[in-house]
Amino acid sequence: MSMKDELEKIAGKENVSDAGDDLRGYSRDFSLLPPGMANIIVKPETSEQISAVVKWANTNNVPIVPVSSKVHFHGCTIPKQGGIILDLGKMNKIIENDVFDRRCRIEPGVTWKQLVEELDKKGMRMVMPLLPHPERSVLTDYLERAVPTNTVYDYGEPMQSMEVVWPTGEIFRTGSASVTGYPNAKARGNNPSGPGLDFYRLLQGAQGTMGTVTWASLKTESKPQIDKILFAPITNLARGQEFLYRILPRRIGQEVLLLNNVDLATILADEWPNDFENLRSTLPAWTLVLVICGLVRRPEEKVAYEENFLNDVLKNEFKDISLTDNLPGFPGIGRKLLPMLRNPWTKEVYWKNQWKGASQSLFFIGKPKDTPKFVSIMQAVAVQHGYVPEDIGMYIQPIEHNRACQVEFTFFYDSECESAKAAMADLYQSAAVALIGAGAYFNRPYGVLAPMMYERAGSYTALLKQVKGIFDPNNIMNPGNLCF
């Protein structure tokens, strides 16, 4: 019996394909990594079907690449060694939308557009990364540790309990979802830790190499009763970081981020290219965006407290920074930008690909005080590679009240030009090497970044491979990624 026949017995004929056109749809993404072809596609509809497919793959030593999103940017779902594409797109149910416990439980195929619209019906929202693609899987972004725009510590870990099919085919539930009687037990799956080990940490950032998540419980939040979005033009990035060091540890603000003129123009532009060029030439070098809001409990008092604190700090310590409810010279920017921070991208072309057709983003974790140094290094590397430094999009996202930050550099290029792609690949790799040498930590090492990071952590890498050998003894789960 052929592979297709056996997999059809598990998932049904309508959920299995080995057609060339179908396979090519999974062979490449928005990354610069080379394409790779799988042998067959399976679209399971239940955890039990996933388990059966994984067990079959173990028996026959066939690689599996789990895919839950319709859009991919980093190459981690391109088949490196052929095998089975396990497309979880049909598993797209919002199982629970629990307002009282401020949580939802969703399957991996649920997209940002789908979830945001459903939560909105009950006055709830997700704390999300900056302008995610509407067709991107919510679970994919959270499993891959996408950083939210909200700096409050409570929202930095949005994932709670989850169900996973291990690489051996065993179905397992983490945390308090593992108790007898779940989902009707009092625990409700709100605690991600245990039993014994924090298994959910094993799955975060694993790029599908440690198992297939079939559903997860996520934190949600009430929509604010009061919102105030504030802007500050920043000409001196170091001074801007001093201001954030002063205010964010006091839990001031919800969404807080720094965007340079290129990224902010790319987000705000309506008419291309004129609107974009006008914006990038007139916007300040950096713009600090800070949202203060009152939720359900005593919203007026909370907003008043934060406003008073900010006014005191600005008056007594940062007279050189002007924080107002509008960016000078750009009337109405607050009314336009605030809804965008609470929703996925809505236009047909993704915001990073509007300017030149394609883009590559290099992002890492660093110390906020080091951000001016990172910017200088990036600009110098760009010049060496013939890329105009003023064309680089830059985004700095404070994490956990400015304990750390994510720095993101975005390079825009012509997707139809092969020489531009090659030049971009060289620039990307050179920039990564230079930034690592300056203290950048790539906690999401995709593609060429993986060997750079794992070669610098020999003992950790050896231990990680031991763990992989325990959970995936036949190395069938997405081989060729990370250090596996």
State residue 153's pLDDT score: 86
Longest dimension (CA), the chain: 78
Question: Looking at residues 343-347, what average pLDDT do you find?
Answer: 97
- CB contact set of 215 (below 8 Å; sequence gap of 6+): 91, 95, 105, 106, 107, 108, 162, 163
Question: Looking at residues 457-461, what average pLDDT do you find?
Answer: 94
State residue 431's pLDDT score: 98
Rounded Cα distance, 475 and 322, in Å: 55
Indicate whether 158 pLDDT > 80: yes
Alpha carbon dihedral 252, 253, 259, 263, in 10-degree steps, equals 170
Q: pLDDT digit string (tens) for 56-90? A: 999 999 999 999 999 999 999 999 999 999 999 99
Instruction: Label residue 296 by pLDDT band (50, 70, 90).
Output: confident
Q: pLDDT digit string (tens) for 248-266? A: 999 999 999 999 999 999 9
SS3 (DSSP) at 345: coil
Instruction: Label residue 196 by pLDDT band (50, 70, 90).
Output: low
State residue 187's pLDDT score: 77
Q: pLDDT digit string (tens) for 361-416? A: 999 999 999 999 999 999 999 999 999 999 999 999 999 999 999 999 999 999 88
Domain 356-444's class? alpha beta
Q: pLDDT digit string (tens) for 361-371? A: 999 999 999 99
Topology (CATH level 3) of domain 224-338 = Alpha-Beta Plaits (3.30.70)
Domains 224-338 and 356-444 equal at CATH topology level: yes
Instruction: Label residue 301 by pLDDT band (50, 70, 90).
Output: very high
Q: What is the DSSP string of 304-319?
A: HHHHHHHHHHHHHT-T
Residue at token pair 């396979």: 23
Domain ranges of the chain: 3-87, 94-222, 224-338, 356-444
CA atoms within 13 A on the CB side of 419: 3
Rounded Cα distance, 89 and 141, in Å: 15
* Residues 258 and 396: beta-carbon distance below 8 Å: yes
Q: pLDDT digit string (tens) for 167-190? A: 999 999 999 999 888 988 877 888
State residue 9's pLDDT score: 96
Q: Which two tokens stand for residue 24?
A: 């090519």
Q: Rounded to the nearest 5 degrees, what angle is found at the Cα of 173, between the Cα atoms of 167 and 177?
A: 170
State residue 194's pLDDT score: 73
Q: What percent of the chain stands above pLDDT 70?
A: 100
Rounded Cα distance, 339 and 316, in Å: 32
Q: Rounded to the nearest 5 degrees, what angle is found at the Cα of 103, between the Cα atoms of 101 and 109?
A: 160
Indicate whether 441 pLDDT > 70: yes
CATH of span 3-87? 3.30.43.10
State residue 155's pLDDT score: 87
Question: Looking at residues 436-449, what average pLDDT do you find?
Answer: 96
Q: pLDDT digit string (tens) for 18-37? A: 999 999 999 999 999 999 99
Topology (CATH level 3) of domain 94-222 = 3.30.465
Which pTM does this prediction carry? 0.95
Q: pLDDT digit string (tens) for 285-294? A: 999 999 999 9
